[in-house]
Structure 1
Amino acid sequence: MTVLEELRVWAREGFHITKLTEITGTNRSLYYYHNATDEPIEMVEKRGRPIPGYSKTQSGDIIPDEQIEEFLMEAIEGDGATYGVKNLTKLLEDEHDLQINHKKVARLCKRLGILLPQRLGNPKYPKRLVRNRIITAPNQLWQLDIKYGSIVGSRRFFFVACAIDVFDRSIVGYYRGPRCTAKDITGMLNEAIIRRQLQVIDDSNGHCIVIRTDNGPQFISNLFGEFCEKNNVFHERIPPRSPNYNAYIESFFSILERDLFRRYEFTYFEEAYYEIDEFMAFYNHRRYHGSLGRMSPVKFHEKYKDSGFPEEMALSL
């Protein structure tokens, strides 16, 4: 057995290759060259600190990478600015009080595909800005957003994506899970469209629903754009740092934070999911709304279907 073969055996046992090459007097680059050209061997366990999946603010609050990615997409797509990695790092420090390294920002940008060399050309699905709408019935405008919670005593997160009908305040669909991708959200929306019995309109100038979101990476993805095109959904996005355009879903998330997340400490994911399911059922079917005449969203929706409401019930959004 040659020295290089012996080094490979010791490497499989977990010994550090730098120390092994120093002891045997072997050139480290020679080892890696032959190791790359020989038959593949079992991968040695990766050393070094694992990627944590979060960053901290100056006050010590933990912000998951998914939320940081949304900050980045808001800066790139919302402002339409051509920012480099160092400018984005500075923006995260100034706007969101994050303690973050430019190398991590580069890694997140690469994962999102927003590094400058990769942003050439026009987007497949152009951005549509919000405009004022008069809402007179259910299923005319849904607002959609994502919120995250944490498991106590750990650094693990779960995500809740919700779509609210701004007319009857119903949560028409929601998703909760350890990650939140465009696939998860489109699946939730597809179920909501079926549940609300919305029809795809054949008229090229019509649409079955307007969905309003922020500039999160899930909402500007090709998958989300394809879903909207297939289902004739008109997707509009709010400007950055303007949550008032999504006031109804933001208001619901404040209720969710106050009445659920602050009242319970979740020790594992299944517990959090169970409590979220219970809260959604309570909110839709039993929680009174002053703006709905002290009715629950479901009761208000059913009353509208039975008798309708006068035009003064219309909302300007």
Structure 2
Amino acid sequence: MVGPSEKRIGVWFLKGEHEYSERQACHLVSIPRSVHRYQSIKKPDEDWLRERIRELANQNKRYGCPRIHTLINREAPVINIKRVHRIWKEEGLQLPRRRPKKRNYGPPGEVVNRALYENHVWSWDFVFDRKERGGQLKFLTIIDEFTRESLALPVSSRIGSQKVIQTLEYLFMTRGKPKFIRSDNGPEFVAYAVQDWLRDNQCEAMYIKPGSPWENAYIESFNGKFRDECLNMHIFRNVPEAERIVDYWRDEYNN
């Protein structure tokens, strides 16, 4: 599809090279004369906005236009997303293509106990990474399936059932408790201590079938974004540094 800018070039060419009148040239390329004559007025903040978009895109290489617009709105809430999208295209900003992975998504069907309201269903899982000089980093990811909010993202070299319970205790006190919490059959989640604690707090554990990650699609999606936008972008020297960087990323993700 040819846009107004290309059509204006066509009118200028016909007028200059073939000596068509403006009326004739506009008619041939199907552009109203008022559109051909229109001169856009550069807004005072255009240069600042363009430079800021470039800076944010460079700092957050896995962020697309909508996420960059969210960051811009924290500094200048009146910026329309259409302006950001226009500049994004003009600057040729694109996300690097990722090679799609072959995955078994399993049979189609409805999500069991789909979340209908906030604090109805939570999901949790573990994500792993490595420190700069070796050594494991273990992240506990917990989200609300209805709001998609990241509720907690603790990191340590080891996270056992007691740390899992401590994290849940804090969330239940500060956020309320869900009716269900969904997970795979990892040892930390099926531990008797965790199951007993959930039962005592009237929260029902839902376990997906082994080898069926599609049954826990919301946390799988979150984990993919977390790895793509945060873990793959940083090298962590130690646990405190990982905590600081992950907390910053989580705050941006939720807002």
- TM-score normalised by length of structure 2: 0.54
1:150 alignment partner AA: R
CA shift digits 1:261-292 (9 cap, x unpaired): 1111112222111101111111112xxxxxxx
CA shift digits 1:118-154 (9 cap, x unpaired): xxxxxxxxxxxx97224321111111101111112x2
CA shift digits 1:226-282 (9 cap, x unpaired): 111110110010011111111111111111111111111112222111101111111
Partner of 1:162: 141
Partner of 1:72: none
Counterpart Cα distance in 2 of 1:131 and 1:247: 9
* Counterpart check, 1:265 vs 2:235: yes
CA shift digits 1:44-99 (9 cap, x unpaired): xxxxxxxxxxxxxxxxxxxxxxxxxxxxxxxxxxxxxxxxxxxxxxxxxxxxxxxx
Q: How does 1:46-125 map to 2 (within 5 A)?
A: none
Q: Secondary structure at the match of 1:161?
A: strand
Match for 1:210 among 172, 180, 183? 180
Match for 1:171 among 147, 150, 157? 150
Q: Is the 8 A contact 1:173 1:189 kept in 2?
A: no
Partner of 1:180: 159
Q: Is the 8 A contact 1:173 1:191 kept in 2?
A: no
Q: Is the 8 A contact 1:174 1:188 kept in 2?
A: no
* Counterpart check, 1:135 vs 2:115: yes
Counterpart Cα distance in 1 of 2:126 and 2:210: 15
Partner of 1:242: 212
Counterpart Cα distance in 2 of 1:219 and 1:197: 20
* Counterpart check, 1:282 vs 2:240: no
Q: Runs of 4 or more off by more than 6 Å in structure 1?
A: none
Q: Is the 8 A contact 2:138 2:155 kept in 1?
A: yes
What are structure 1's unaligned runs of at least 5 residues?
Answer: 1-129, 199-207, 286-317
Q: Shift of residue 215 of structure 1?
A: 0.6
2:187 alignment partner AA: P
Q: How does 1:140-151 map to 2 (within 5 A)?
A: 140-151=120-131
Tell me how many residue pairs correspond in the alignment: 146
Q: Shift of residue 209 of structure 1?
A: 1.5
What are structure 2's unaligned runs of at least 5 residues?
Answer: 1-109
Q: Shift of residue 166 of structure 1?
A: 0.7
1:238 alignment partner AA: I
Counterpart Cα distance in 1 of 2:115 and 2:251: 25
Counterpart Cα distance in 1 of 2:218 and 2:114: 15
Q: Secondary structure at the match of 2:194?
A: helix
1:135 alignment partner AA: A
- Structure 1 residues 186, 211: closer, same or farther in 2, change over 3 A? same
Counterpart Cα distance in 1 of 2:207 and 2:165: 16
Alignment RMSD, CA only? 1.7
Counterpart Cα distance in 2 of 1:189 and 1:135: 19
Partner of 2:175: 196
Q: Shift of residue 192 of structure 1?
A: 1.2
Q: Secondary structure at the match of 1:194?
A: helix
2:188 alignment partner AA: Q
Q: Secondary structure at the match of 2:139?
A: strand
Q: Shift of residue 225 of structure 1?
A: 1.1
